Amino acid sequence: MHLPSALCACAWLLRELHMDLQSALCALRSLLGGVSARALPGVLHTLRGDAFEDLFQCNEDAVLRNIAGELREALPAEAMLSSEHQAMQKMQQSFEPTVHVDSFLYEDTLIDQLCEEGRMSRHYCLSCGSQQTAPLGFISHSFSLVELKFLFQHALPDLSGKTLVDIGSRLGAVLFGGFLYSSAAQLIGVEMNAEFCELQGKIINKYHFNDRIQVLHADICTQASLLQDADVIVLNNVFEYFLDEDAQISAWTFINSCVCKMGALLVTVPALEESLGKLQTGIDLNHWVEEVQLDYNVYLGADTDSEALQNIHLYRVR
Ligand SMILES: C[S@@+](CC[C@H](N)C(=O)[O-])C[C@H]1O[C@@H](n2cnc3c(N)ncnc32)[C@H](O)[C@@H]1O
């Protein structure tokens, strides 16, 4: 085998065959045995470098990265809008100095690059002028590309014929990821912020996503029938930073009363126990759902952050 075909074969093997580590290493060894002596040093060199990572990028990743680039252009660096008064206020009350870095818009490699260029920092100064620094808290309001791949390619079952509702769809990351990485029949976002709805609408039209994606500008508490009929409901850090405590309690109580179709799936970040543990909702979690155990031990490219993946939880309605 020559160099390009050997590398493509390695990438295909690792991506498509879903092997465990030992079998993958065995298969790789035997594959490398078939590489010509002239090509072998080049193959081994490339396997160790970034170019090999690029072979894992598929068309869908490229489309999502393109969308992220367009949204970065359209938004301020923190990807927050001045119309998000309540969210802004809540962040200012945060104890730890925190920056908003939207993981869908800014992948780790891009953050590293911006830090190197001095346009972003992962640290803040403890006493002005000194060398003492501490890590900044990062808050993301969207799933990253890696989290979306994990969600649609590993965590959720085949979604053919199913309807997914993303509560608080914001930039549309879940909807676009679901369009590209799953066969879901309908992907419906509900977002209370009008400007974000408009932004999602522009992307949906531009990329011709209209046949499977729809965005509703609404408070989720007005969408009973949508929730009753949904097969998958996504709640990614949805209320904590955006609603006061009473409104969070009302929203969770409403969702609990509507989402009762047996077998419907809930995807949440963080765990339901954590979100509800802070609130007096009276929801009996064990009666409502059972948790589906996920395998977080997956490789989805150099940006795979298994800690972040472990915040994603899946539940089935009883
Ligand atoms: C953390 S973002 C979730 C982003 C997106 N689902 C994702 O995973 O990439 C939460 C969004 O929920 C919206 N939101 C909060 N409460 C809501 C409500 N009651 N109804 C509709 N949207 C809501 C906020 O405006 C915010 O844009």
Answer whether 190 contacts ligand 1 (Cβ < 6 A).
Answer: yes
Q: Which two tokens stand for residue 86?
A: 């309540």
Question: Does residue 156 line the site of ligand 1, with CB under 6 A?
Answer: no
Give the closest residue to 311 by CA, choosing from 265, 259, 272, 264: 272
Q: Is residue 65 part of a domain?
A: no
CA of 48 to the centre of ligand 1 (A): 40
In a domain, 10, yes or no: yes
Q: Compute, in angstroms, the gap from residue 192 CA to the centroid of ligand 1.
A: 7
Q: Whose CA is nearest to atom 23 of ligand 1?
A: 168
Domain count for the chain, please give it.
Answer: 3
Whole-number Cα distances in Å, 204 to 148, 177, 268: 17, 12, 24
Nearest CA to ligand 1 atom 20: 219
Distance 220 CA to ligand 1 centre (A): 9
Q: What is the pLDDT of residue 35?
A: 78
Residues 182 and 215 in one domain: yes
Cβ 142 under 6 angstroms from ligand 1:
yes
Task: Determine contact, residues 149/300, Cβ cutoff 8 Å.
Answer: yes
Closest approach atom of ligand 1 to CA 189: 6
pLDDT at 34: 77
Q: Is 146 near ligand 1, meaning CB less than 6 Å away?
A: no
Residue 194 lies in a domain: yes
pLDDT, position 54: 62
- Give the CATH number, domain containing residue 200: 3.40.50.150
Q: Confirm whether 41 is domain-assigned.
A: yes
Residue spans of the chain under pLDDT 70: 1-21, 49-57, 94-98, 120-138
Does residue 125 form part of some domain?
A: yes
* DSSP character at residue 227: H
- Whether residues 176 and 278 share a domain: the answer is yes
- Residue 100 beta carbon below 6 angstroms from any ligand 1 atom: no
In whole angstroms, what is the distance from residue 32 CA to residue 9 CA?
Answer: 10
Q: Is 269 in the pocket of ligand 1 (CB under 6 A)?
A: no
Does the Cβ of 237 fall within 6 Å of ligand 1? yes
State whether the beta carbon of 102 lies less than 6 angstroms from ligand 1. no
Phi, psi of 34 (to 5 degrees): -90, 0
What is the predicted pLDDT for the residue at 293? 97
Residue closest by Cα to atom 24 of ligand 1: 168
Question: pLDDT value at position 268?
Answer: 98
CB of 197 closer than 6 A to ligand 1?
no
Q: Is residue 115 part of a domain?
A: yes
- pLDDT recorded at residue 299: 82
Q: Are residues 95 and 227 in the same domain?
A: no
Same domain, 7 and 40: yes
**Which pair of structure tokens corresponds to residue 297?**
């031990």
Q: How far is the CA of 191 from the centre of ligand 1 (A)?
A: 6
Three-class SS of residue 195?
helix
* Judgement on whether residues 190 and 265 belong to the same structural domain of the protein: yes
Ligand 1 centre distance from Cα of residue 31 (Å)? 47
CA angle 280-283-287, nearest 5°?
Answer: 155
pLDDT at position 89 is 78
How many A from CA of 188 to the centre of ligand 1?
Answer: 13
Full domain range(s) for residue 100: 76-139
**Given 120, 139, 158, which residue is the final one in a domain?**
139
147 touches ligand 1 (CB under 6 Å): no
Instruction: Say yes or no: 173 and 266 in one domain.
Output: yes
For residues 156 and 127, state if they share a domain.
Answer: no
Q: Is 239 close to ligand 1, i.e. is its CB under 6 Å away?
A: yes
188/251 same-domain check: yes
Residue finishing a domain among 111, 139, 167 = 139
Please check whether residues 132 and 14 belong to one and the same domain.
no
Closest to 119 in 3D by CA, of 103, 99, 133, 137: 99
Indicate whether 298 and 183 sit together in one domain. yes
- For ligand 1, is residue 174 a contact (CB within 6 Å)? yes
Within-domain flag for 71:
no
Whole-number pLDDT of residue 43: 74
